[in-house]
Amino acid sequence: MKTEDLQQELFESFEIDGQLLPAVTNEEEKFQAFRKLLIERIEELAEKNMEKLMWLLYRVDVNERKLHATLKETPPENFAPTIADMIIERQIQKVKLRKEFEGNETDWNFDI
């Protein structure tokens, strides 16, 4: 999966400037740079506006039970990377689902 598929919605939702990404061609380097920016934004939100961070996690549709269970087991210094990985995991699931159902147009006409 391409990093661009993950980035688009998350950069918009988390108000991250995509121009901050370094110009790299390697897909792994792109992913790591993207992940780093997401972690930095999560740290910033956790410090300044935790309510907004929680709202964004809800909006991105991170499983709340899994989030709470994971954070109970996570040391404070790994808070942001853990959340970033959960967000990325959820985004990957959503991209895969969209691609899976992309060409399946169904007639949802319920005229009686």
Q: pLDDT tens, position by position, for the chain (112 residues)?
A: 566 666 777 777 777 777 677 776 788 888 888 899 999 999 999 999 999 999 999 988 998 898 888 888 989 889 999 999 999 999 888 888 888 877 666 656 665 5
Q: Give the Cβ contact number of residue 55 at 10 Å.
A: 12
In a domain, 55, yes or no: yes
Residues near 61 by beta carbon (within 8 Å), at least 6 away in sequence: 90, 94
What is the overall mean pLDDT for the chain? 82
CB atoms within 10 A of CB 7: 20
* Total domains, the chain: 1
**Rounded to the nearest 5 degrees, what angle is found at the Cα of 59, between the Cα atoms of 55 and 63?**
95
Tokens of residue 23, six digits: 């110009």
Assess if residue 101 is contained within a domain: no
Identify the pLDDT of residue 13: 76
Structural domain of residue 25, as residue ranges? 3-96
